Structure 1
Amino acid sequence: MIESAFPIVEVPDMDAAMRFYHDALGTAVVYRYPVDGEPVFVTLQAGASQLGLGLAEGGTAGEGAGMLLWFYVDDVDATTTALETAGYLVIERPDDTPWGERVSMVSDPFGTRVRLGQPIAPQPEEE
């Protein structure tokens, strides 16, 4: 049986990936290989979850690849604005959902879709 899952995003440019996932989203580096020099693999702590970034020449999930990353953040609006200000593409502006979350969607530097979510008070049920 599966005990856990560990997503790894293959990226063609580790510096650009780190600027997005580490610097802009605020994850913490918990592992890097090699320890010295330019990393070819890093593990990032994103709240209670971990995400791997692996350097792969030409490798990227990219738009339309059937992959979506979802990060819960403290403030969807502020995070989306900060990412847009930093030059990242906003695919969907923040909006409230019927299931009680505020969400937006941005793109990492390689076209991978990244959903940002924040719980809000549930919408009243229709009669």
Structure 2
Amino acid sequence: MDIALKYCHITVNDLDESLPFYCDALGLEVRNDVAAGGFRWVTLGSPTHPDPEFVLSAPHAGRSQADGDTLQELLTKGVLPMIVFSTDDLDATFEQVRVSGAEVLQEPIDQPWGPRDCAFRDPSGNMVRLQQAAKA
């Protein structure tokens, strides 16, 4: 059996506000932009990797009012799970995201468990970490 991650969902307040962060700053590309039931989902992917795709959606998209309200509360508090992307050049990626105006949470550092990493907040408050594998 071969199994792999296909989609990773990222909840955001405003898709149009979030797209410059994920596309321009991180370099992802829009794969699909789908409207359904008064909401919209946008799937993004790396130009060099077919999978996984990242699905941006608002808290209430495809959810009950109560579930959407709960998700909105968690997003507002900034307690949704972090997103971790890998890169082959952390310092260059950090600089590209930093100059985009994203909130820097942690500048690049070498972690004692191996990778070099940094952290930002996306426009909705999600923590986004970038990491580069330790050099052998």
Aligned length: 117
State the Cα distance separating 1:7 from its structure 2 match.
2.4
2:118 partner amino acid: S
Which residue does the alignment assign to 2:116?
A: 102
Which residue does the alignment assign to 2:105?
A: 91
CA distance in structure 1 between the partners assigned to 2:31 and 2:82 by the alignment? 23
Alignment of 1:12-27 (within 5 A): 12-27=13-28
TM (norm. structure 1) is: 0.78
Alignment of 1:1-127 (within 5 A): 4=5, 6-34=7-35, 40-46=40-46, 47=49, 48-56=51-59, 59=72, 61-62=75-76, 64-122=78-136
TM (norm. structure 2) is: 0.73
CA distance in structure 2 between the partners assigned to 1:66 and 1:33 by the alignment? 24
State the Cα distance separating 1:90 from its structure 2 match.
0.7
State the Cα distance separating 1:76 from its structure 2 match.
1.2
1:31-62 deviation line (CA, Å, top 9, x unaligned): 1113xxxx811111133321100134684735
CA distance in structure 2 between the partners assigned to 1:18 and 1:45 by the alignment? 12
State the Cα distance separating 1:63 from its structure 2 match.
5.2
CA distance in structure 2 between the partners assigned to 1:67 and 1:75 by the alignment? 24
- Aligned alpha-carbon RMSD (Å): 2.4
> What's the % identity of the aligned pairs?
31
Higher helix share: 2
Any stretches of 5+ residues in structure 2 without a counterpart?
A: 61-68
For the 8 Å contact 1:80–1:90, the answer to whether it is kept is: no
